[in-house]
Amino acid sequence: MSLAPPPDGIAPVGGVPPDEGPGSGARPAPPTGRAARGGQADGAPWRRLHPLTPVLRAWLVLLGLLAILAQTTLDGLAERLDGEDAAADGGWTQALPPWTVLVAAGSVFVLAVAGYAVLAWHVTGFRVADGAVEMKTGVLMRRRRQMRLDRLQSVDVVRPLTARLVGLAQLELGSAGGGSDSGLTISFLRLAEAAAVRRELLARSGTRREGPSSSAIAARGDVMGQVDEALTGVTDFGDAGPVGGAAEGAVPLFAVPPGRTLASVMLSGWAVGLVATIVSGAVLLVVSAANGSLLSTVLAVGGGLWGGAAIIRRRLMSELNFSAQATADGVVVRHGLTELVSQTVRRERIQAVEVSQPLLWRHWGWWRVRVNVAGYGTQGTELRSVVLPVGTFGQVASVLWSLTPTLVRPQDEAMWRAATLGRGPENGFTVAPRRARWLDPWGWRRLGYAVTPFALVVRKGLWVRRVQVVPHERTQGISVEQGPWQSRFRLASVRIASTVGPVVPELPHLDVNDAGVLLRDQAIRARMDRGSH
């Protein structure tokens, strides 16, 4: 009998929803969930997830089951038709049983999966109490997880395609520590509820720990005036409006037109690499076809293409529809094609900023802005850390004004021009000595750093221009390294430690004296800025 994929093939997915973990100890679970909930008299009541959660979690499994059911039904029908031909000699009754058994087994399986999913939903809950978010999950293996609000670094509202279809969203909370397992995901909630919980979390964590820089900013009223000026300077709003409820008191900063996003990705290193792969692959194909070793070449080239295309596709899916709004405590960015993500990037959580420009963007004067935020561990960092996927320098300035106002004071303008476009020691830059060319033949021309009262500015990259900014109070530590060749040329590399993220502030091949001075002075500046708040 033609049973298409056996149910066991997908059973693990349905049997154990992603977050639950394998239930090794088969403890009887049921009523304790309620007891535990009743027993927690001190805390706030547990809040449930949306009832559709199990359906969304298991939708792949359910789809698979539906497909199997449909197939077996069709098979059964076909058999029945065959059977009708054979009915004359009693074949009808013999054809029936396997089909019935299969359907029965299938429905039992579906019921079991559904039952487990409902049970899992039933025992899952979260609450915000005593300065912490707490979440409990697990039918067999119970798990409770607490995240202190003063450790909360980021709150993102994420809406995968399936969740969007039914108006739901999930909340992703990032905490300091940066490990891949240090966050919490609350899925799924109604969109409005998710937004409300996010507001609540942000408000509570904000009041608990008044960001030093935000108070400093409040004192500098003139800076906010600058924001307005920056905003009026931004003219090219795309037609992509905000997705899903504007934040309160938010000022729209920019929206990136889809065409520009597309062009920027096509002009980025990955896409150029992809084209190079295609071209060289075509050449290889012709050559190897002549040699008769076609298959392995096809496999190798195809593999490369597949990988490169996947990266580009992921980036496009994430960066299309990108828009940003300035709010009282930072910037809210919204982006995504199928999966909508709404991130609140808070001013006091910014650890480092990088403004970069790939070679092929130069002609259009486009820049990209990425940030290090402690909450986004290593996973998905690449896409979540983007606050401006592609934009003019005016847009860069407006984002920086909203995120780190102290870094773009009016008097910093010359420094910024030198940092983005310049080279050489003008405008307060300390640069790499000429002898660094032996170790870095191109990069040394632009390498340098400048110091503002609020941050260290690192300039580097001759082809891909990069400007990395680390606020002094965010200096996590400093290290200086010197290898044997550097020692011979009296050079040394300085690295400013930042949290996990795309921005790795590093100055390779400075003069060894400059490196020593930077190390000493930066330690002092970091100390002063930490102490002054």
Handedness of CA 500, 502, 505, 510 (dihedral sign): positive
* CB-nearer residue toward other proteins: 293 or 379: 379
Whichever of 49 and 403 has its CB closer to other proteins, that residue is: 403
Kindly indicate which of the ranges 28-36, 62-70, 221-229, 475-483 contains the residues binding other proteins, using the contact rule CB under 8 A.
Answer: 475-483
What minimum distance in Å lies between the beta carbon of 520 and other proteins? Answer: 5
Of 207, 488, 491, give the one whose Cα is nearest residue 348. Answer: 207
Q: Does residue 24 contact residue 16 with C-beta atoms inside 8 Å?
A: no
Query: Using an 8 Å Cβ cutoff, are 372 and 500 in contact?
Result: yes
Confirm or reject binding of residue 379 to other proteins (CB under 8 A): no
* HSE value, Cβ hemisphere, 13 Å, CA-based, for 487: 4
Residue 519 in contact with other proteins, rule: CB under 8 A? yes
Q: Give the sign of the dihedral formed by CA 441, CA 442, CA 445, CA 447.
A: negative
Query: Which tokens hold the place of 461?
Result: 């990259």
CB of 530 to other proteins, least distance (A): 5
Task: Give just the sign of the alpha carbon dihedral 268, 274, 278, 281.
Answer: positive
**For residues 191-250, which are near other proteins according to CB under 8 A?**
209
Q: Could you tell me the smallest distance in angstroms from the CB atom of residue 177 to other proteins?
A: 7
**Which of the ranges 69-77, 88-96, 231-239, 480-488 carries the binding residues for other proteins, by CB under 8 A?**
480-488
Q: Half-sphere exposure of 146 toward its Cβ, with a 13 Å CA cutoff?
A: 7
Secondary structure string (H, E, C) spanning 433-462: CHHHHHCCCCHHHCCEEEECCCEEEEEECC
Please, which residue, 427 or 482, has the CB nearer to other proteins? Answer: 482
Q: Are 232 and 250 in contact (CB under 8 A)?
A: no
Identify which of residues 319 and 348 has a Cβ nearer to other proteins in the complex. 348
359 binds other proteins, rule: CB under 8 A: no
Query: Minimal distance in Å, beta carbon 348 to other proteins?
Result: 9
Give me the amino acid identity at 230: A
Instruction: Note whether 495 binds other proteins by CB under 8 A.
Output: yes
Q: In the bound complex, what is the minimum distance in angstroms from residue 478's beta carbon to other proteins?
A: 5
CB 339 to other proteins: min, Å: 27
Taking residue 194's Cβ as centre, other Cβ atoms within 10 Å add up to: 26
Minimum distance from residue 451 beta carbon to other proteins (Å): 17
Taking a C-beta distance cutoff of 8 angstroms, is the pair 236, 390 a contact? no
Question: Which residue, 351 or 468, has its beta carbon nearer to other proteins?
Answer: 351
Q: Does 476 bind other proteins (CB under 8 A)?
A: yes
| Interface size with other proteins, residues (CB under 8 A) | 41
Instruction: Give whichever of 141 and 517 is closer to other proteins, judged by the CB atom.
Output: 517
Please state, in angstroms and rounded to a whole number, the distance separating the CA atoms of residues 30 and 122: 10
Name the H helices within 45-190. Answer: 53-57, 59-86, 91-123, 161-165
81 binds other proteins per the rule CB under 8 A: no
Site string for other proteins, 419-458 (x = CB under 8 A): ----------------------------------------
Partners of 59 in the β-ladder: none
Considering only residues 296 through 355, tell me which ones interact with other proteins, judged by CB under 8 A: 349, 351
Contact window for other proteins (CB under 8 A) among 115-123, 130-138, 290-298, 467-475: 467-475
One residue of 37, 523, 525, 532 binding other proteins per CB under 8 A:
523
User: Which of 32, 100, 479, 532 lies at the binding interface for other proteins (CB under 8 A)?
Assistant: 479
Altogether, the residues listed in the chain come to a count of 533
Give the full edge-to-edge strand order of the sheet including 132-137: 125-129, 132-137, 143-148
Cα(251)–Cα(365) distance, integer angstroms = 24
Residue 79 C-beta-side C-alpha neighbours within 13 Å: 19
Could you tell me the CA-to-CA distances from 13 to 20, 26, 109, 117, 269 in Å, in that order? 11, 18, 13, 11, 37
Considering the complex, state which of residue 105 and residue 524 has its C-beta at the smaller distance from other proteins.
Answer: 524
Per rule CB under 8 A, is residue 492 in the interface with other proteins? Answer: yes
User: 147-186 mask for other proteins (x: CB under 8 A)?
Assistant: ---x--x----------------------xxx--------
Q: Determine if 477 is a binding residue for other proteins (CB under 8 A).
A: yes
3-state SS, one letter per residue, for 388-402: EEEECHHHHHHHHHH
- 497 binding other proteins? (CB under 8 A): yes
Contact residues for other proteins, defined by CB under 8 A: 150, 153, 176-178, 209, 349, 351, 374, 473-484, 487, 490, 492, 495, 497-500, 504, 512-513, 515-517, 519-520, 523, 526-527, 530
